[in-house]
């Protein structure tokens, strides 16, 4: 996923730098794209954290259940 985001960012920057626009327009577009990429990265981070938390909870539940099954 990280490679995808880096490639997306690099492509956006190169596309903007070679586009025939005024400097202030290009800078604003770069800021906008950078903000979009940061938002995407934050969303992916939040999703990853949610999955990691769920896995931790499941592991904890399995550990709690394990002693019950060993005595049977």
Domain that holds residue 8: 2-70
Q: Is the pLDDT of residue 5 over 60?
A: yes
pLDDT at residue 34, as a whole number = 87
Contact 23, 9 (CB under 8 A): no
How far apart are the two ends of the chain, measured CA to CA in Å?
A: 45
Q: Cα dist. 17→8, 24, 26, 39 in Å?
A: 14, 12, 7, 22
Domain count along the chain: 1
Q: What is the pLDDT of residues 31-59, one digit of tens each?
A: 898 899 899 999 999 999 999 999 999 99
Both tokens of 51, joined, read 């999955």
CA 22 – CA 17 distance, rounded (Å): 10
Both tokens of 63, joined, read 């550990």
Q: Residue 41's Cα: distance from chain center in Å?
A: 3
């Amino acid at each position: 996923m990280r490679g995808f985001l880096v490639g997306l960012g690099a492509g956006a920057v190169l596309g903007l730098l070679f586009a025939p626009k005024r400097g202030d327009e290009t800078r604003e577009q770069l800021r906008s794209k950078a903000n979009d990429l940061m938002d995407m990265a934050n969303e992916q981070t939040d999703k990853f954290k949610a999955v990691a938390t769920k896995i931790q909870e499941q592991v904890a539940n399995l550990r709690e259940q394990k002693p019950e099954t060993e005595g049977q």
